Chain A
């Protein structure tokens, strides 16, 4: 029994030491980078918010941000996230209280370069400006948004997620 225990400990103790040391190294680097990562993530959101409502100030709720400028309510901003052709498309959406889209901005996506990535370009996203939520569909689905040639799936994905999230947010604000 003594021999057996010794053999097992001889295997287990080095493994435990390796794990403990690794854990310590990880904790240390997490501590070192935590603040920085949070700042980076926050900056991304702040940047896209200021693209949607330039110069406004924002108060966050659970689901969306209310934008106010000079004490006057401007509208809401929120992230719409949905599955595209080859990635998750994350879009910041600005919405007026009357149910029209102010503007959208693609925060992150990795669709097919040269095709699907065009959804992040102003030629495509500016189509959403001033459109009523219920019209935000592709033309072939009965809406007013022109799909990008050769990238219907990406175009439909972003259009549908923006509309669906906008409907949810609008209901919550009422």
Chain B
């Protein structure tokens, strides 16, 4: 079933909570929901383009130099994203900072290209990339929601307040790296708790 290629990245093999990939940008950028959305957009574009391109050329790329080829392709797409974001979304560009170019080394992208796109047809790779991007987006935005609420006492996306301020003294730690580790840990614990109980029955 083609649809499986799409949905597996969202739940069953969620890149963050199941594959535990791409934690580096996750820790850094999940401080605010709009940063997380911006990052997801970047990852979405890079992952889909790289997967499709690599899948298209998978028969021409010699296996000895496949990793350099993948990295060159990925790095090019990342740089393209970076240039356009600098020009057209300068504020987001400023806030994502170094983590935008670091999409290059986001393991999700190289991981999917190597494990999936270099072996599968174009359309499957396209679906896989979309599924994985959605999975990544769900993970990073979910964590960002927890962290932003707890660390600022509100949620504001691109200037629109979604959750109004409910406390005057939010927890500063949640916006610092330990807050990200804690949030990921708690969410993973809940997921595991649920799956253990499911198995038990």
Which A residues have a C-beta under 8 Å from some C-beta of B? 10-12, 14-15, 18-19, 22, 25-26, 29-30, 32-33, 36-37, 40, 44, 108, 110, 112-115
Contact = CB atoms under 8 A, between A and B. Distances in A.
Among A18, A22, A113, A115, find the residue whose CB has the most chain B CB atoms closer than 10 A. Answer: A18
Contact of A114 (B90, B95, B152): B152
Interface of B, secondary structure class, is helix
B80 A29 contact: yes
B62 A14 contact: yes
A113 B152 contact: yes
Contacts of B60: 14
Contact of A29 (B62, B73, B75, B83): B83
Interface of A, secondary structure class, is helix
Contacts of B62: 10-11, 14-15
Contacts of B80: 25-26, 29
B176 interface: yes
Interface string B1-38: 00000000000000000000000000000010000000
B172 A22 contact: no
Contacts of A18: 57, 61, 69, 72-73
Contacts of A112: 172, 175-176
Given A14-B61, A14-B65, A22 B73 contact: yes
19 contacts: A14-B62, A14-B65, A15-B65, A22-B72, A22-B76, A25-B80, A26-B76, A32-B83, A33-B84, A37-B83, A40-B87, A108-B94, A112-B175, A112-B176, A113-B31, A114-B152, A114-B170, A114-B175, A115-B172
A33 B94 contact: no
Contact of B84 (A19, A25, A29, A114): A29
Interface in B65-91: 65, 68-69, 72-73, 75-76, 79-80, 83-84, 86-88, 90
